[in-house]
Structure 1
Amino acid sequence: MKQIPQILVATLLLCSIAMPTLAEDPGSLPSPLREVGFEQRLGESISLDLPFVDSEGKSVLLADYFVADRPVVLALVYYECPVLCSMVLNGLVSSLDVLSFQPGQDYEVIVVSFDPGEGPELSRIKRTNTLDQLGREGAEDGVHFLTGDPASIDALTTAIGFSYVYDAEKDQYAHASGVTVLTPEGRISRYLFGVEYAPKDMRLALVESADLKIGSAVDQLLLFCYLYDPATGKYGAATMNLVRLGGGITVLGVIGFIALSRRRDRRLAAHPNQGSNPS
């Protein structure tokens, strides 16, 4: 139980203000930002047969990275992005670095460029920089940077609900920021929005997406106390569950008190002189 306050304190310290994917008033956004964002498709599956190219120039399928009991963190970026994509990757690394889970053992990370003009040379550089930043031995087994052709990119981004648009005037892409957590079977489980991801949210998303096959009893308790909010991409207190938990503890306390009191009364009745002091 001592771990729970520590987790909550760490969450408060590390929790970030997520960048909204859509403004409250879309009409106030300049074009082409009105056309970008995440359309959440929780529970839907992506095609694992989509072909891509890894950072070594090898042809691969998404299925190559979906392994039993390992959830997948997917980041859609482009490697020559001037600012935002680097912030997404930095936020991802910062969040994963706090977790005890090991990439390649407990989960997989897939980073896919949605720019069909980018190839293995760029993905290799980005992967090397990300692994250096993460600084965790063995992480290379679970961190994958991919590029692909327009058909595969379009199929994946559409399945995720990730929309973006090329701004010819600025020669760059306008896009939303966030990562998606998928189950080992390729089903969309959670979206985490913005460029910073609270370690609590990332950990709980991974545990839920793995159907509790990774994590600890503390994680299971936290999932009882916190619920995912699709509107924010964060985990918030499950008020009713907390009330039920508090009520259950109170009832157990009362039952325990009554049981101890009756046991004491029976013992005194069997030995009436036990409770009196000799004169």
Structure 2
Amino acid sequence: MRSVLLLFLFLAWPTLAIAQSAVHRAHDAAAAVTAHDHSTTEQAEEALHSGHGDAGLMPMEPLSQDPAQATHSGHVQPEAMPADHSGHGTMAPPAGNVPAVSAPEPEHVHPTPVAEASIGVTEKLGEFIAAEARFFDEDGKAVTMGEIVDKPTIVVPIYFSCPNVCAIIQSSLTAVLPDVKLEPGVDFQVVSVSFDDTDTPELAARQKRNYMAAMDFKYPENGWRFLTGEEADIRVLMDSLGFGFRREGKDFLHPVVIMAVSPKGKIVRYLYGTKPLAFDLTMAATEAGKEQIGLSVKRVLAYCFSYDPEGKRYAFNFMKITGTGILFILVVLLVSLMLAGRKKRTPRN
């Protein structure tokens, strides 16, 4: 038994060192984040108060007594108006013995910082899309999402003038949709929804013709729909999908993801990346038809990968995965040794 404990300590020592190092790194990272947040809060408070202080105490020039003299705005100063500003903020006393009534001073209101739209994906598996959101199809017909989503649907959030990933996603779909082992337009459908409110049904129709031509017009037209809409309806739908985006000039900052939605409008799966596979689309549409919620790939990726802000890319968490594997092996080994020790102690009949 002593040799078993020595062997266990020998194997566990590197893992404990790795875990201790990870704890220190996490502590340092948390301290850095706390310091950054504290600094950000101080900067925000300083910015909010930057327009106050002595602004209300600046001396005002006395009004001109000459009625012929005009201000920069072209208005003539009245002759009877006094130049004394000592009573600024109070009403002039009325005639007679009626006491003057002081006007209430205007309430000082601090401006509220406007929060920027978050960019990214908030998975809402099991929740329902905004069925009431209204859009226009490629023929210019007004439809709601509840009317469109009447079968398992692959929702593709894009915008038609996107020069990069949106075009790559749609081109990738033309390569894999013919290989999906389901009947398009019957067993499932694809719906590309533009989140650019300046896109028009005419542009959507042109996009549809281009992608149908890429598939030699052998793909049924009712198997792939193209929608455009107003900003309010776009926001409602994208918020219900957990799709965060923000306009930057003529372009947008947005994630790269498509969603599988059931005929009842339930979100059942998120598929990330610009090149979905035919197998993934088949499985997602099948799960949507059964109202079955799929695996959250985002959580798996978040555990296995971490974002590198300097390199602006995701890096594989080698230490985390290696440490998890070592701990798992040690637990299995320890359980095996304990079971083996119990078997040796069992008396023979």
Q: TM-score if structure 2 supplies the norm length?
A: 0.50
Q: What's the % identity of the aligned pairs?
A: 28
Residue type of the alignment partner of 1:127:
K
Distance 1:51 1:89 in 2: 23
Instruction: Show the 5 A alignment for 1:2-151.
Output: 35-67=118-150, 70-135=151-216, 137=218, 139-151=220-232
Residue type of the alignment partner of 2:173:
L
Deviation at 1:160, TM superposition (A): 0.5
Distance 2:125 2:275 in 1: 21
Local SS of the residue matching 2:299? coil
Residue type of the alignment partner of 2:288:
S
The CA deviation string for residues 129-168 of structure 1, in whole angstroms up to 9 with x for no partner, is 1222234635201211010001110000100011111112
**In structure 2, which of residues 279, 282, 297 is the aligned counterpart of residue 229 of structure 1?**
297
Distance 1:187 1:227 in 2: 14
Runs of 5+ consecutive residues of structure 2 not aligned to the other structure: 1-32, 34-116, 302-349
Instruction: Show the 5 A alignment for 1:139-178.
Output: 139-168=220-249, 171-178=250-257
Deviation at 1:205, TM superposition (A): 1.1
Mean Cα displacement is larger for which, 181-190 or 121-130? 121-130
Asked if structure 2 preserves the Cα contact closer than 8 Å seen for 1:179 and 1:192, the reply is: yes
Distance 1:101 1:150, change over 3 A: same
Distance 1:148 1:232 in 2: 34
The CA deviation string for residues 217-263 of structure 1, in whole angstroms up to 9 with x for no partner, is xxxxxxxxx96634358xxxxxxxxxxxxxxxxxxxxxxxxxxxxxx
Runs of 5+ consecutive residues of structure 1 not aligned to the other structure: 1-26, 28-33, 214-225, 234-279
Deviation at 1:127, TM superposition (A): 1.0
Asked if structure 1 preserves the Cα contact closer than 8 Å seen for 2:154 and 2:191, the reply is: yes
Length, aligned pairs only: 187
2:4 equivalent in structure 1: none
Instruction: Show the 5 A alignment for 1:191-206.
Output: 191-206=270-285
Asked if structure 2 preserves the Cα contact closer than 8 Å seen for 1:182 and 1:189, the reply is: yes
Are 2:269 and 1:190 equivalent residues in the alignment? yes
Deviation at 1:102, TM superposition (A): 2.1
Distance 1:174 1:207 in 2: 31
Residue type of the alignment partner of 2:145:
L
Instruction: Show the 5 A alignment for 1:239-254.
Output: none
Asked if structure 2 preserves the Cα contact closer than 8 Å seen for 1:193 and 1:232, the reply is: no
The CA deviation string for residues 107-127 of structure 1, in whole angstroms up to 9 with x for no partner, is 011111100011111101111
Mean Cα displacement is larger for which, 50-59 or 152-161? 50-59
Local SS of the residue matching 1:159? helix
Distance 1:44 1:102 in 2: 26
The CA deviation string for residues 34-78 of structure 1, in whole angstroms up to 9 with x for no partner, is 9421111100001212111111111111122222xx310000100
Higher relative contact order structure (alpha carbons within 8 Å, sequence separation ≥ 6): 1
> Which of the pair has more CA radius of gyration?
2
